[in-house]
Structure 1
């Protein structure tokens, strides 16, 4: 049954992220993107520190030093991947006010479009593995991890749309390319389920990688983008949306825990 949940979650989360990014790109573009980024920070950090890390450390508390080492190595690896452009790519778009000569971003996009899709596919595959690990640990963690990934993937897929659009691809082709890339999360979910089911002891380490990725994305990518807002009037809304992201995560968690607790009581009575 877990494999069905994993496949449904990975497929639906990919579709939601791609469709939302497509709508934002060809309608209001990134007008409200900074609000989504702020709420993503709240969701990422709260899921990492309130759920993924506690779940990982509760499974093998006697190996906390190894888990912390795995977290350190994961963060360093994400930094290396970012440096070789497997995760991060050009977030600018033609006419975004960065002062480049006309056609600069279009030229970069033409050269880097394939790399962007490869990087996105690898990233989506790893997201699928993380979702699988979370579902194996607990259904609640699986749902929260998937929601966190969606909030992060919408801004990133929006950037993919913008860059590939500048590369000269038409809207239909861009949509199909990014959608195909997003389905790599389902492949990763299936792979993660088949592997982690037989090697349960590595599940805490996968959860550590998940938490590390969320923390690294928040600190290295999302928060610096929030700092790009120079107007003081944006500071309070940013903080409000960060708190909103934390509150939503906490609310979902509390409701789910109460609901699961009642279900377990009924099962025990039966």
Structure 2
């Protein structure tokens, strides 16, 4: 089996397996009843992935940390503009549905956060493909280990992404389709990484910074404000616990990957 075949097979298997595992968890019959909790968990998973994995890796690879930080700031502004464009597309007057704030699990946000999470996830999966290619080009066994570690890391994030897509108003089937399509961007990253690895490596910090920016923006601008609609102490404690659980899950996966 050639190295390129190993890379493609690992990217396809990894993306499919992580999506299937996440969907199996998220597609329960009572999904709508605990969607608010899933969104809280998603916030923790997103922020954990950004600050425990993506940004540290980007800083490690970046030749200039100041430029990298500027890229994150640019990315946050970029996703703010993208969200505005989505709002303008759906609404041209002051009192339309796009201006109404909904609670998680009790309404939708016209696809805004769903669109942004797919864009950010595509960047992230693309970089994962490059990382898998680099590992296989070093050693096949290392490539297999790297692919397994990435799958383990992706499952909690994909559960969070699925919750965000449902929160954003997508059907369960459409959420599955979008996550699956986004996951296959790792195949493109793996193939390009195989043929032009030296060139692509210089782009990894920028791609990671943009992925981090999208996740920060979604968590802080789109999801956290919805949680404030449930201000009772019991709801707040539940939200905090689930956010910490999301961060903790990503941290455990990071420890596993480090080993």
- TM-score > 0.5, shorter chain as reference: yes
Q: Which residue of 2 aligns with 1:129?
A: 126
Match of 1:15 in 2: 20
| 1:203 counterpart residue number | 204
Aligned equivalents of 2:186, 2:21: Cα separation in 1 = 17
What is the alpha-carbon distance in structure 2 between the residues aligned to residue 117 and residue 38 of structure 1? 15
How far, CA to CA, are the matches of 1:119 and 1:40 in structure 2? 14
Counterpart in the other structure of 1:230 = 231
Q: Distance in 2 between matches of 1:200 and 1:20?
A: 34
What is the CA distance between 1:235 and its match in structure 2?
Answer: 0.9
**Rg larger for:** 1
User: Are 1:124 and 1:184, in contact at CA under 8 Å, matched by a contact in 2?
Assistant: no
Q: CA RMSD in A?
A: 3.7
Alignment partners' CA distance in 1, 2:43 and 2:181: 24
Provide the rounded CA distance (Å) in 1 between the counterparts of 2:115 and 2:132: 26
**Post-superposition offset of 1:248:** 2.0
> 1:73: which partner in 2?
74
Query: How has the CA–CA distance of structure 1 residues 195 and 75 changed in structure 2, closer, same or farther, with 3 Å as cutoff?
Result: farther
Residue 188 of structure 1, CA deviation: 1.6
**How far off is 1:178 after superposition?**
4.7
Partner residue of 1:37?
Answer: 39
Q: Deviations over 1:145-176 (max 9, x none)?
A: 5235313322133246x555xxxxxxxxx73x
**Which residue matches 1:48?**
50
Residue 151 of structure 1 is matched in structure 2 by 159
Which residue does 2:9 correspond to in 1? Answer: 4
Residues 145 and 201 of structure 1: CA distance in aligned 2, closer, same or farther (over 3 Å): farther
Structure-2 change in CA distance of 1:3 and 1:228 (3 Å): farther
**TM-aligned CA distance change 1:64 to 1:136, over 3 Å:** farther
Moved more, 245-254 or 46-55: 245-254
TM-score, with structure 1 as normaliser: 0.67
Q: Which moved more, 1:27-36 or 1:117-126?
A: 117-126
Contact 1:134–1:145 (CA under 8 A) maintained in structure 2:
no
* Aligned equivalents of 2:15, 2:231: Cα separation in 1: 36
User: CA offsets per residue over residues 200-235 of structure 1, 9 Å max, x none?
Assistant: 111111111222222111111221122121322111
Structure 1, 115-124 or 188-197: larger mean CA deviation = 115-124
CA distance 1:70–1:245, shift in 2 (3 Å): same
CA contact (8 A) 1:125 1:185 kept: yes
Partner SS, residue 188 of structure 2: helix
Compared CA separation, residues 137 and 239, structure 1 to 2 (3 A): farther
Q: How many residues align?
A: 227
Distance in 1 between the 2:133 and 2:80 partners?
27
Q: 1:185 aligns with which of 182, 186, 201?
A: 182
Q: Distance in 1 between matches of 2:70 and 2:190?
A: 24
Counterparts of 1:30 and 1:122 in 2: how far apart (Å)?
A: 24
Q: Is the 8 A contact 1:44 1:218 kept in 2?
A: yes
From the superposition, tell whether residues 242 and 129 of structure 1 become closer, same or farther in structure 2 (CA, over 3 Å).
same
